[in-house]
Amino acid sequence: MGDEEDGGSKKNPLIIAAESVARSSATHAGWLQKLSSSGRWSKRYFLLLPGAGTSRFLVYYRSANPEAPILASMDVSQAGDPALAPDNSSEFSIFWDKQRRFRAGSPEEAARWVACIAAAQARKARGGARPAAGYQAGGDAFSPSDKAPTWGERRPPADSRECCCAVV
């Protein structure tokens, strides 16, 4: 992710682009931990934002304060498909410039993040959302399924159901 947090002195263009998107337009939001390059987990507040054109941004902040500066931004439309960890833990990963690992509060919340990120990627690629790992039609029901992609695995969409991702 384009990290200001890691001591970068020049503002990353992805952060600049994400700053132009209203935070209220987020399709999903919440607390996650991210694994740093030094191997430490850091708790951060994440938003999944629509962008101009085909861009879809995953951004994070130190706090949920609406005035907080963006620490990093990833264009998920340029990233690999998100994948749940194989051990049914609360971890998931996304390959962007390198493998990025995240930890949610529960396996269900990790599946929800994977579903929302996959749906954002599908909107970019096909003009609509694709079904996402763990999504069950009808309401807000998510449960990890045996059809969910696992760590590093990529799968095409099975049908055209919409994801029910919403701001948390």
Residues in the chain with pLDDT values less than 50 = 4, 126-164, 166-168
Distances in Å between the Cα of 140 and the Cα atoms of 31, 63, 109, 150 are 18, 26, 12, 22
Residue 11 in tokens: 């503002």
The CATH number corresponding to 2-81+94-107 among 3.40.50, 2.20.25, 1.10.600, 2.30.29 equals 2.30.29
User: Which pLDDT does position 124 carry in this prediction?
Assistant: 52
Residue 146 in tokens: 């045996």
The predicted-structure confidence for 22-52, as pLDDT tens digits, reads as follows 999 999 999 999 999 999 999 999 999 998 8
Cα gap 36→6, rounded to integer Å:
9
* Other beta carbons within 10 Å of 81: 22
User: Which pLDDT does position 5 carry in this prediction?
Assistant: 53
User: Which pLDDT does position 55 carry in this prediction?
Assistant: 86
Cα gap 151→87, rounded to integer Å:
9
Residue with tokens 């952060």: 15
User: Which pLDDT does position 18 carry in this prediction?
Assistant: 93
User: Which pLDDT does position 2 carry in this prediction?
Assistant: 58
User: Which pLDDT does position 96 carry in this prediction?
Assistant: 86
Residues 40, 72, 28, 66: what is their CA dihedral angle, to the nearest 10 degrees?
110
